[in-house]
Amino acid sequence: MSTLFSEIQGLFERTYASLGVNLEECLIDRRRCRQLSVLAGAQAAELSMLARTFLRAADGQLKVGIYFSNWMIEQLEKHDPRSGLSDENIGPLIAFIEEINHALHAGLQFQRGMEPVEQEEYARNLELQAQVDTYLVLLLFIAFFRKPGTITERDRRWLQFHMFEAEQQRPFRDQTLHARYAETTLLARQYTSYLESLAASRRVEEIRIFHALGYSEKCDRIRELDA
C-alpha cells in the first residue's frame, strides 16, 4: 500500500531520475534528530523543528536522516491532503514535501559525484530546487480537486502566500540563514511564475534542465528570464 511519502518520492523520480533507494527507510525519531542537530552546529538551532533533513558522506556512501515531528504527521493524518488542501494542512505539507525533495536531490547529486558540503551554495541549491518542486507539486494537488482541473487566480494567490510570503516572515538571527531564505524564496517565486506560463510538456523539459544546473547557473537562468 502506497503512502503519501512514497507517492511524492515517486512523482519526483518520474520527473527527474530514480534514486534506487526508499527514502522512508531514512526516517529518524526525535531523539536522533536532536543528536544530529547538536552535531550540525549553532546555525541548525534556528531551523524549524517541524521537519529536518541531515546529510553526510562517509565511506563512499551518502548518509541521510529525515525527521518529521509528531505534530506535523498528526496534522497530515487529520487533514489528509489527498482529500484536499486547506489552511490546516498546507504548512505541514510544504515542509513534508521539501524534506523529501532535499533528500532526493542530494542523493541524485551524490550519484553524479557531488558530495554534501558545508558550503552556502550547496545549501541554497537544495533550498531553491525544493521550493520550485514543492510549488509545482502543490499545483498538481490543487488541479486534482478542481473540476475540470482549472486552477483559479485565487488558488495561485493562496498558494503563493503560503509558499513565499509566509516563508519571508520566518525570523532568523543568523544573517547567513536570513540571506539564504530571502534569496531562494525570491528566485523561486520568479521562476515558478515563468514555469506557469509554459505548456505542460515544455514545463517538464525546462525543470529537468534547471535541476541539472549548479546554484549560480540557476540564478543566472532566472535572472535572464526576468530581464
State residue 169's pLDDT score. 66
Place of cell 536522533: 32
| For the chain, domain boundaries | 4-226
Amino acid at 23: L
Count of helices and strands (H, E) across the chain: 10, 2
d(CA 227, CA 124): 22
Cis peptide before 171 (omega within 30 of 0): no
Whether the Cβ atoms of residue 181 and residue 172 lie closer than 8 Å to each other: yes
Pick from 50, 47, 36, 216: which is nearest to 120 by CA?
216
Say if CB 48 and CB 109 are below 8 A apart.
no
Kindly state the DSSP code that residue 84 receives in the 8-state scheme: -
Nearest to 96 by CA among 17, 3, 225: 3
Look at residues 213, 65, 94, 64 and name the one whose alpha carbon lies nearest to residue 159.
Answer: 94
Helix or strand or coil: residue 85? coil
Q: What is the DSSP letter of 151?
A: P
Looking at residue 107, its pLDDT comes to 95
The residues of the chain scoring below 50 in pLDDT are none
Identity of the amino acid at 136: L
pTM: 0.93
What integer pLDDT is reported at residue 1 of this predicted model? 55
In eight-state DSSP terms, residue 165 is: I
Other beta carbons within 10 angstroms of residue 64's beta carbon come to: 22
> Residue 145: what pLDDT?
83
Measure the CA–CA gap between 189 and 194, rounded to whole angstroms. 9
Q: What per-residue confidence (pLDDT) applies to 92?
A: 95
Alpha carbon separation from 207 to 32, 45, 137 (Å, rounded): 34, 32, 12
